Chain A
Amino acid sequence: MPFKTFAAFVGPSIFMMLLFIAFPLASVFSQSFHVTQPVYEIVEVETCTPGFLTQTCITEEKSVPKLDENGELIKIRRFVGLQSYANVLELGRAKEALATGSWQAFQNIDFWKALRFTLTFTLITLPLVLGVGLLIALVINNASARVRGPVIFVSLLPFIITPVIGALSINWLFRGDGILTATLEWWLARDIAMFAQAWTIEILMMLYRVWHVAPFAAIVFYAGLQTVNQDSLESAVIDGASRWQRLRYVVIPHLMPLIVFVTMIHLMDSYRVFEEVVGFSSQGHVISLQWLTYDFLIPDQAGNRSISRASASAMLTMIGIVLLLIAPLRRTWREHKGGH
Chain B
Amino acid sequence: MKLKHLLLAGVASLLGTGAMACSFENTVPLKSLSAGFEAWKVVTDAMAECGNFEASLDQEFKEKQPAAFAANPSLYHIGGVANATLIPLLNEGTIRPLDDLIAKYGAGIKPNQMIKIDGKTYAIAMMVNAQHLMYREDILNDLGIAAPTTYAEMMAAADKIKAAGVVDYPIGGTFKTGWNLAEEFVNNFLGEGGEFFGEGNMPNINNAQGMAALEVMKALTAYMDPEYLVSDSTYVQQQFQQGKIAMANLWASRAGAMNDAAESQVVGKVTMAAAPMGSAAPASSLWWDGIVIAANITDEEAEAAFKVAMEGLKPDVIAANNDAAVWLVDGFTAGPLAAGAAATAAAGARPYPASGPMGIMHTALGNGIAAYLNGDKDAATTLADIEAAYTTAAKEAGLVK
State the A residues within 8 Å of B (CB). 35, 37-40, 45-57, 62-65, 67, 71, 73, 84, 87, 104, 107-108, 110, 175-176, 193-196, 198, 280-285, 295, 298-304, 306, 308-309
Instruction: Assess whether B93 is interfacial by the CB under 8 Å rule.
Output: yes
Structural contact, A35 and B351, CB atoms closer than 8 A: no
Instruction: Assess whether B337 is interfacial by the CB under 8 Å rule.
Output: no
Which residue of A is nearest B375, CB measured?
A104
Instruction: Assess whether B26 is interfacial by the CB under 8 Å rule.
Output: no
Using A62-B355, A301-B85 as known contacts, say yes or no to A49 and B125 having CB atoms under 8 A apart.
Answer: yes
Which residue of B is nearest A53, CB measured?
B112
Structural contact, B125 and A50, CB atoms closer than 8 A: yes
Structural contact, B63 and A284, CB atoms closer than 8 A: no
Q: Is the interface of B mostly helix, strand, loop or mixed?
A: helix
- Would you list which residues of chain B between 344 and 395 have a CB under 8 Å from chain A? 345-346, 351, 354-360, 362-363, 367, 370-371, 373-374, 376-377, 381, 385, 392-393
Using A87-B392, A302-B358 as known contacts, say yes or no to A52 and B341 having CB atoms under 8 A apart.
Answer: yes
Write out, one digit per residue, whether chain B residues 260-294 have a CB within 8 A of any chain A CB (1) or not (0).
Answer: 00000000000000000000000000101000000
How distant is the Cα of A48 from the Cα of B116 in the complex, in angstroms?
A: 5
Structural contact, A108 and B128, CB atoms closer than 8 A: no
Which residue of A is nearest B64, CB measured?
A299
Structural contact, B177 and A304, CB atoms closer than 8 A: no
Using A46-B117, A295-B367 as known contacts, say yes or no to A195 and B341 having CB atoms under 8 A apart.
Answer: no
Using A193-B226, A285-B370, A302-B356 as known contacts, say yes or no to A50 and B128 having CB atoms under 8 A apart.
Answer: yes
**Nearest Cβ on chain A to B227's Cβ, whole angstroms:** 4
Structural contact, B125 and A281, CB atoms closer than 8 A: no
Instruction: Assess whether B100 is interfacial by the CB under 8 Å rule.
Output: no
User: Inside 8 A of A39's CB, which chain B residues have their CB?
Assistant: 398
Instruction: Assess whether B157 is interfacial by the CB under 8 Å rule.
Output: no
Instruction: Assess whether B88 is interfacial by the CB under 8 Å rule.
Output: yes
Structural contact, A38 and B398, CB atoms closer than 8 A: yes
Which residue of B is nearest A303, CB measured?
B88
Structural contact, B116 and A108, CB atoms closer than 8 A: no
Which residue of A is nearest B348, CB measured?
A51
Structural contact, B341 and A303, CB atoms closer than 8 A: no
**Nearest Cβ on chain A to B372's Cβ, whole angstroms:** 10
How distant is the Cα of A105 from the Cα of B197 in the complex, in angstroms?
A: 27
Write out, one digit per residue, whether chain B residues 112-156 have a CB within 8 A of any chain A CB (1) or not (0).
Answer: 111111110000010010000000000000000000000000000
User: Inside 8 A of B15's CB, which chain A residues have their CB?
Assistant: none
User: Inside 8 A of A37's CB, which chain B residues have their CB?
Assistant: 396-398
Instruction: Assess whether B201 is interfacial by the CB under 8 Å rule.
Output: yes
State the B residues within 8 Å of A (CB). 62-63, 66, 83-85, 87-88, 91-93, 111-119, 125, 128, 176-179, 181, 201, 225-230, 235, 286, 288, 295, 326, 328, 341-342, 345-346, 351, 354-360, 362-363, 367, 370-371, 373-374, 376-377, 381, 385, 392-393, 396-399
How distant is the Cα of A64 from the Cα of B356 in the complex, in angstroms?
A: 8
User: Inside 8 A of B363's CB, which chain A residues have their CB?
Assistant: 300
Structural contact, B286 and A309, CB atoms closer than 8 A: no
Structural contact, A309 and B62, CB atoms closer than 8 A: no
Kindly list the 10 A-B residue pairs having the minimum CB-CB distance in the complex, ordered from nearest: A302-B359, A303-B88, A37-B398, A284-B177, A284-B229, A52-B345, A196-B226, A284-B370, A301-B84, A300-B359
User: Inside 8 A of B360's CB, which chain A residues have their CB?
Assistant: 300, 302, 304
5 contacts between A and B (CB under 8 A): A50-B112, A52-B342, A64-B91, A302-B358, A304-B393
Structural contact, B128 and A63, CB atoms closer than 8 A: no
Structural contact, B225 and A303, CB atoms closer than 8 A: no
- Beyond contacts A49-B115, A50-B328, A303-B66: 15 other A-B pairs, Cβ-Cβ < 8 A, are A45-B118, A47-B115, A52-B128, A52-B342, A65-B356, A73-B91, A87-B396, A281-B178, A295-B367, A298-B63, A302-B358, A302-B359, A303-B88, A306-B393, A306-B396
